[in-house]
Structure 1
Amino acid sequence: MSNNIELSIVMPCLNEAETLAICINKAQSFLNKNQIIGEIIIADNGSTDGSISIATSLNAIVINTEQKGYGSALKAGITAAHGKYVIMGDADDSYDFSNIMPYLTELRNGKDLVMGNRFKGGIEKDAMPFLHKYLGNPVLSFIGRLFFKINIGDFHCGLRGFSKKAYETMNLKTSGMEFASEMVVKTKLNNLSIAEVPTKLHKDGRTRAPHLKTWSDGWRHLRFLMLYAPNWLFLYPGILLALIGLLMSIILVINPIEFSNFTLDINTLLYTSAFFLVGIQFIIFYGLTKVFAVENELLPKSNRYNKLFKFINLEKGLIFGFILLIIGVFLSFKGLATWEDTDFGHLDKSTTLRIIIPAITTLQLGIQTILFSFFFSVLGLKK
């Protein structure tokens, strides 16, 4: 019988006795009305209010998970699902399970993930807190679209559908509310297809406060998006800082920059050199983060990742690092020779520091390159 199930409807549950029966009845009505062979799974996360008894009495399948968290509950329920397709949604009666045919239609047409869009479908009065509606969801959805080039308008809609095969490809890891963002991001990173359907958000039927915590859960979503986009977190800021630092340093080494009211000289050169080094550190962290994430299956491998190991390896890194060290030593001796010309007496700081600051910067960069090359190779040992 389980082999014939087309659709599994999975609801995460933590003390939803007030609304659980309504959601299950709507889901059963949908399956019966459309003659769909399906199952209803309640992924319970430690309910103590009778939710489990309600689900059992209505012939829903109850899956218990001891690990706390929205993502943990859903992963347990989805893993236990037998359907070819899965539709997940909250059990607080904020989504209408009797009206999920648009999701199933898109799944039958071959889409891997079908997202709801509450901003297109409509949001009832008081159904979404003001901060979530006008700040949290729009900002986080914009960041998701920017970072991952995903053309959807509502990253955090709690009602969504996907094929079981696509879910297994996603290899989701998170356990909290950021599970919702991870699903969308992993769909894109694995080159799976995404569709979006308008979805109406109703005011939930609970009298207690929701489990969602505005600031802490919002931060978890933002943190996830940043950590899964090391190019935005490290690479792009690093390139910007390094270019500004390098160009300004080259100009200041040649000559001070004079304005009508002030002059940028060796003191500024210290800061621009620091900008350059910090930018390079950002870029190094990008490389290390990328290798760590891929080798630990947090991010999928790509052709660009394979090319990275052909372009960067331990031997090339050591050669480049030692060349930088040699340049730094050469500049240091040049600075020493300048001092020797004065019989080790008084120095013209402006002239000398234009040699010493690049010397120190190059020495530091050489050491960083050598250490990065070793660490990069260690992280890539699996490859």
Structure 2
Amino acid sequence: MNNTPEVSVVLPCLNEAMTVGHCVEQALKALAASGLRGEVIVSDNGSGDGSPELALKAGARVVHELRRGYGSAYQCGIIAARAPIIVMADADNTYDLREIPRLVAKLCEGYDMVLGSRLGGVILPGAMPWLHRYVGNPILTGLLNRLFQLQLQDAHTGLRAFTRAGYDRLELRTTGMEFASEMIVSAGQQRLKVAEVPITYHPRAGESKLKTWRDGWRHLRYLMLRSPTHLFLIPGVALVLLGWLPLVALAAGPLVIGRFFFDFHYMIAGSAIALLGLQTLTLGVHGKAYLVANNLEHPDRLMAWLQENFTLERGLLSGLALLLIGLGFGLRIFIVWAQHGYENLFELRTGLVALTLAVSGTQVIVAALFLSLLRIQTRND
């Protein structure tokens, strides 16, 4: 007789004595009613209210995770799971675990991950604060869809089913609430097949552990850090172009357009903006290189081009060329100054262009060295 479970249900737990026993029993009954061999694993995160004992009494297998955090508890429980299909849910009775077989059935259609959509299903009165339902979740889900080319209704649902093989491809690392975002982002990056099924979301029994602004910020921060193209590259390119516009346009002299007079003050601002933009741009390249080096992202066209064409020598030569051009303009200013007997000289326009080019060249040299360091890490991995 084969006693190996087909489905493992993982419930993280921190002081959920009011509900954990009911959740365990509900999950076990749902699996039995659908003819699925299953187990329920409660990953306790340091409860002091007797939750582990209640979970054991209800029929769960209890594992203990000493590191605090939503992600830590889930990772511990998932590692302990023995089945090829894993379902994750909260132990606070907000999810109807009788719906687990529906997620598993959808998973068996060939998907790698199935999400229980609260926003596409039924949210009972009092189950979700207005701010979460109409602002936080839609905005974060929309941003995630936009940044990572997904089409989800509810990316932050806590009821999910996935295959062990699919999960192992994600290589998840975060330990806090952003674990939920990391899972979806990594699923998109790894091109897993993801589906959603509508579910019913219930009011929580007891005090919620969610902190609206703190947890929302952690999700938003993680999404942006996983998308250096939008956080760094696009703003960086825009700033470089915006900065060089007045430097080039005003290099020969002031401009008058209608009632507006543009002089070297705009060149000073342009120089600062261009340098800030180049710094932001190189940070974006480094960020993408880091993600690729750590298998957090597949190389896109930019990274594929860099991997094929970038060498430290080419980077150093490019930066050196900009530096020498800037120094050349500076030498020209010095020669003019010498020709005028080292008297007062106003060469601010040329000086700003020279300074911007020289500093940009230095930035490119440093950026090339650091990018080369990241590529060494890539080759050693």
TM-score bracket relative to the smaller structure: over 0.9
Does residue 309 of structure 1 match 2:307?
A: yes
Shift of 1:304: 5.3
Q: Superposition pairs for residues 155-174 of structure 1, below 5 Å?
A: 155-174=155-174
Preserved contact between residue 3 and residue 82 of structure 1 (Cα < 8 Å): no
Name the structure 1 match of 2:366. Answer: 371
TM-score, structure 1 normalization: 0.94
Count of residues in correspondence between the two structures: 378
Q: Superposition pairs for residues 300-379 of structure 1, below 5 Å?
A: 300=298, 305-347=303-345, 349=346, 352-379=347-374
Q: Deviations over 1:98-140 (max 9, x none)?
A: 1222211121011111112211102111111222122211111
Does residue 295 of structure 1 match 2:284?
A: no
Amino acid at match of 2:135: L
Amino acid at match of 2:235: P
Q: Superposition pairs for residues 1-383 of structure 1, below 5 Å?
A: 4-206=4-206, 209-300=207-298, 305-347=303-345, 349=346, 352-382=347-377, 383=379
Distance in 1 (CA, whole Å) between partners of 2:371 and 2:2 is: 47
Distance in 2 (CA, whole Å) between partners of 1:311 and 1:271 is: 33
Amino acid at match of 2:32: N
Shift of 1:3: 7.2
Amino acid at match of 1:220: R
What secondary structure, in the 3-state scheme, does the structure 2 residue paired with 1:153 have?
coil
Deviates more, 1:174-183 or 1:57-66: 57-66
Cα gap change, 1:305 to 1:4, in 2 (>3 Å): farther
Preserved contact between residue 2 and residue 82 of structure 1 (Cα < 8 Å): no
Amino acid at match of 2:343: G
Preserved contact between residue 87 and residue 159 of structure 2 (Cα < 8 Å): yes
Preserved contact between residue 13 and residue 42 of structure 1 (Cα < 8 Å): yes
Amino acid at match of 2:340: T
Distance in 1 (CA, whole Å) between partners of 2:2 and 2:361 is: 61
Structure 1: runs of 5 or more not aligned: none
Amino acid at match of 1:32: A
Amino acid at match of 1:375: F
What secondary structure, in the 3-state scheme, does the structure 2 residue paired with 1:380 have?
helix
Distance in 1 (CA, whole Å) between partners of 2:290 and 2:304 is: 14
What secondary structure, in the 3-state scheme, does the structure 1 residue paired with 2:72 have?
helix
Distance in 2 (CA, whole Å) between partners of 1:303 and 1:111 is: 27
Distance in 2 (CA, whole Å) between partners of 1:164 and 1:258 is: 66
Distance in 1 (CA, whole Å) between partners of 2:2 and 2:47 is: 27
Preserved contact between residue 245 and residue 274 of structure 1 (Cα < 8 Å): yes
Shift of 1:371: 1.2
What secondary structure, in the 3-state scheme, does the structure 1 residue paired with 2:98 have?
coil
Distance in 2 (CA, whole Å) between partners of 1:70 and 1:99 is: 22
Amino acid at match of 1:273: S
Structure 2: runs of 5 or more not aligned: none
Preserved contact between residue 24 and residue 59 of structure 2 (Cα < 8 Å): no
The alignment's C-alpha RMSD in Å is 1.7
Amino acid at match of 2:237: I
Cα gap change, 1:246 to 1:371, in 2 (>3 Å): same
Preserved contact between residue 115 and residue 160 of structure 1 (Cα < 8 Å): yes
Q: Deviations over 1:257-311 (max 9, x none)?
A: 3144441111110111211111111111011122223323444556753432222
Preserved contact between residue 243 and residue 273 of structure 2 (Cα < 8 Å): yes
Preserved contact between residue 9 and residue 86 of structure 2 (Cα < 8 Å): yes
Deviates more, 1:304-313 or 1:227-236: 304-313
TM-score, structure 2 normalization: 0.95
Preserved contact between residue 43 and residue 63 of structure 2 (Cα < 8 Å): yes
What secondary structure, in the 3-state scheme, does the structure 2 residue paired with 1:121 have?
strand
Shift of 1:339: 2.5
What secondary structure, in the 3-state scheme, does the structure 1 residue paired with 2:192 have?
coil
Amino acid at match of 1:376: L
